[in-house]
C-alpha cells in the first residue's frame, strides 16, 4: 500500500490531516465545547507558548545574512582559517539591536546598539559580540546586573527612570567615556546601516608559530556615519517605532547591500606592559596614533531571513565561541561574558540552542553531549555517549593544541578594579574625544542632549545626583561642565566650590 503524502494538506504538528480549522466541536450549535477537540487544544497551547523569554538586554533587534571577504593578509598575526587567503569568503549572520529597551521599544531610542556577528567557518562558528561603541560603561562583570537594572524599569513606578541612570553613572565614574558617546548624536544612529561596529573587548590572535598578539576589531560603515539629532530621533519615534528594522530590510530587498570595512588594531604582549593604561579595560580605547588600524576585509549583508523568529529571534551569540587561531584576553568584562552569554541562551531557548539552524555549525560537530529539551539532530544515534571508548572514530587532533599561557600574577584576591596607576583615570580619554574628535556642532548637540537627559532626574536626591555628575563633567572639561550646569539652572560657583573641595 503506497504511503499517502501530506504535502500542502492542513495537518496538526504530528502530521494528522484535519479539516475544521475555524469551528470548535460543540454539543449542538450553541452548546459547550467538547474536551476531545484536540485541534483546539493544540492551537491554543502553541499560541500560549509562541513567545520565548525575550533577551534581558538587546531584546529588540534586526538581522541579516551575508558574506565576509578577506582583502588583506594578516597571517603574520593569526592562523585562523577564516583569514587564510585573500579573496576567501565566509558566510555570516549579523544581528543589530538596541540594548536597554524591550521588544516593543522604539528603534531610535538614545541607547547603545548591539553589533553581533556569527562567522560560519570550517573550524566551527566564531561569534564576535560587540556594540556600535568601542568602550562600555563598566569594567568588571560583577557590576553588570546592577548597571542593567538602572537601564530598565523602576521597581516601584515600573517606568524608565533618568534618576536611577544618573545616580548610578554619577557613582561610577568609569562610565563617563561611554556616557559621553551615548549623549552625543552617536547615541541615536540613523538605522543600523550608518553606524560602525566594534568588538569592544580586547581579544587575542595566535599565528602558526604559536606567537600571540592582542587585538581590537573595528567595522567601519561604508555607507558613512549618519545620526539623528535628539529632536529627529523623537520625531521618528512617533512616526515609526521600527525604523531601523524597516530600513535594513528594505535596503537589502532592493539590492542596496550594506557593507562594513573590517579592520584590527594589534598590540604585542610586550607593548601591553608598557602602555600607560590598562589595555584590557573595556572603558578605554587604544589610541590609533599608537596602534593604527590594519585592513582585513569587507563584510556585506545581502540576504534577509525568510522568517524573523526563526533566524533573528532565535539567534544566539557568545564570545566564548572562538576558532583555532583566535583567543581571549584578561579583559574582565569579556571573561564574565564567556560564562553569562551561553548561560542566557540555555535559559531562553534551551540546552540545545546550537542545533537551531541559524546557530548550527554547518560543518562537522562531534562530541558526547546528549539529550536535553528539543534535541533534534539524532542525539548521537547508536554511538557511545562517553569518552574514551572502543567504538567510534572521533579523534583528538593535536595540531589544534593551544599554546600555554604565562600569567602575570600567582595570587588570587579581590582587587580594586581601579587600584593600579592609570586605571583610575576616567577623564582624559573622554576629554580627548570631546575636545579633539567632536566638531563644534557635535559638541553643542552632546551638551544639549546631556542637559535634556539630566533634566529628567527627580526626587529628594536630585541636587546630590546632579552635582555629583557635574563634578565628573568638570573634571573632563570645564566648558562642558559649565554649560551643562547652566542648562540645568545650577549655581556654577557653588558647584565649582564643591568641585575644588573634592580635590
Only one residue has cell 571508548, namely 389
48 is catalytic: no
pLDDT in tens, 289-313: 999 999 999 999 999 999 999 999 9
Only one residue has cell 533634566, namely 455
The single residue of 131, 132, 304, 445 carrying the catalytic annotation is: 131
Helix axes 440-454, 162-170, angle to 10 degrees: 110
The single residue of 58, 177, 201, 218 carrying the catalytic annotation is: 58
**Coil/strand/helix, residue 61:** strand
CA 398 – CA 254 distance, rounded (Å):
47
> What distance separates the 2 farthest-apart alpha carbons in the chain?
94
pLDDT at 427: 96
pLDDT at 23: 86
58 is catalytic: yes
CA 111 – CA 191 distance, rounded (Å):
12
CA dihedral 208, 210, 212, 217 (to 10 degrees): 30
Cell representation of residue 215: 587585538
φ, ψ of residue 407 in degrees (nearest 5): -90, 150
Using the Cα atoms of residue 135, residue 136, residue 139 and residue 141 in order, give the sign of their dihedral: negative
pLDDT at 495: 66
Cβ–Cβ under 8 Å, residues 263 and 221: no
pLDDT at 322: 93
pLDDT in tens, 253-277: 999 999 999 999 999 999 999 999 9
Ranges in the chain, pLDDT < 50: 1-2, 502-503
Cβ–Cβ under 8 Å, residues 263 and 286: no
pLDDT at 93: 98
Q: Give the angle 434-435-440 at the CA atoms, nearest 5°.
A: 85
CA 137 – CA 162 distance, rounded (Å):
16
In 3D space, the residue among 151, 174, 90, 88 whose CA is nearest the CA of residue 125 turns out to be 90
DSSP 232-270: HHHHHHHH-TTHHHHHHHHHHHTT---EEEEEEEEEEHH
CA 203 – CA 140 distance, rounded (Å):
16
Cell representation of residue 265: 588594531
Amino acid at each position: 500500500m503506497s504511503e499517502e503524502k501530506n504535502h500542502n494538506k492542513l495537518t496538526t504538528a504530528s502530521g494528522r490531516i484535519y479539516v475544521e480549522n475555524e469551528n470548535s466541536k460543540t454539543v449542538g450549535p450553541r452548546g459547550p465545547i467538547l474536551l476531545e477537540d484536540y485541534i483546539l487544544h493544540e492551537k491554543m497551547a502553541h499560541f500560549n507558548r509562541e513567545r520565548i523569554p525575550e533577551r534581558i538586554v538587546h531584546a529588540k533587534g534586526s538581522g541579516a545574512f551575508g558574506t565576509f571577504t578577506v582583502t588583506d593578509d594578516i597571517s603574520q598575526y593569526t592562523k585562523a582559517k577564516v583569514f587564510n587567503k585573500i579573496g576567501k569568503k565566509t558566510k555570516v549572520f549579523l544581528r543589530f539591536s538596541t540594548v536597554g529597551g524591550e521588544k516593543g521599544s522604539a528603534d531610535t531610542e538614545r541607547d547603545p546598539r548591539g553589533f553581533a556577528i556569527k562567522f560560519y567557518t570550517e573550524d566551527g562558528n566564531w561569534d564576535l559580540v560587540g556594540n556600535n561603541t568601542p568602550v562600555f560603561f563598566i569594567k568588571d562583570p560583577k557590576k553588570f546586573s546592577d548597571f542593567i537594572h538602572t537601564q530598565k524599569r523602576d521597581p516601584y513606578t515600573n517606568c524608565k527612570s533618568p534618576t536611577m541612570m544618573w545616580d548610578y553613572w554619577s557613582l561610577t565614574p568609569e562610565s563617563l567615556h561611554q556616557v559621553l558617546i551615548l549623549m552625543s548624536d552617536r547615541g541615536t544612529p540613523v538605522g543600523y546601516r550608518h553606524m560602525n561596529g566594534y568588538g569592544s573587548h580586547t581579544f587575542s590572535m595566535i599565528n602558526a608559530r604559536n606567537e600571540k598578539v592582542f587585538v581590537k576589531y573595528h567595522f567601519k560603515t561604508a555607507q558613512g556615519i549618519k545620526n539623528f539629532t535628539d529632536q529627529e530621533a523623537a520625531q521618528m519615534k512617533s512616526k515609526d517605532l521600527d525604523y531601523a528594522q524597516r530600513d535594513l530590510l528594505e535596503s537589502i530587498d532592493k539590492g542596496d547591500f550594506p557593507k562594513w570595512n573590517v579592520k584590527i588594531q594589534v598590540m604585542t604582549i610586550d607593548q601591553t606592559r608598557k602602555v600607560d593604561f590598562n589595555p584590557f579595560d573595556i572603558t578605554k580605547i587604544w589610541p590609533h596614533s599608537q596602534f593604527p588600524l590594519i585592513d582585513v576585509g569587507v563584510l556585506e549583508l545581502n540576504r534577509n531571513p525568510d522568517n524573523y523568529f526563526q533566524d533573528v529571534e532565535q539567534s544566539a551569540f557568545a564570545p566564548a565561541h572562538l576558532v583555532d587561531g583566535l583567543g581571549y584576553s584578561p579583559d574582565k568584562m569579556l571573561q564574565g561574558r564567556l560564562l553569562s552569554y551561553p548561560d542566557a541562551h540555555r535559559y531562553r531557548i534551551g540546552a540545545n540552542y546550537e542545533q537551531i539552524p541559524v546557530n548550527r555549525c554547518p560543518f562537522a560537530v562531534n562530541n558526547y553531549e546528549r539529550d536535553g529539551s528539543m534535541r533534534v539532530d539524532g542525539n548521537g544515534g547508536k554511538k557511545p555517549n562517553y569518552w574514551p571508548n572502543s567504538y567510534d572514530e572521533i579523534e583528538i587532533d593535536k595540531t589544534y593544541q593551544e599554546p600555554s599561557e604565562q600569567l602575570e600574577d600567582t595570587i588570587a584576591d579581590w582587587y580594586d578594579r581601579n587600584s593600579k596607576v592609570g586605571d583610575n583615570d576616567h577623564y582624559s580619554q573622554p576629554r580627548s574625544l570631546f575636545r579633539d574628535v567632536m566638531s563644534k556642532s557635535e559638541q553643542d548637540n552632546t551638551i544639549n542632549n546631556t542637559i535634556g537627559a539630566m533634566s529628567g532626574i527627580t526626587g529628594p536626591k536630585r541636587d546630590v545626583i546632579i552635582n555629583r555628575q557635574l563634578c565628573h563633567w568638570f573634571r573632563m572639561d570645564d566648558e562642558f561642565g559649565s554649560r551643562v550646569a547652566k542648562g540645568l539652572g545650577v549655581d556654577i560657583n557653588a558647584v565649582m566650590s564643591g568641585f575644588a573641595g573634592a580635590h
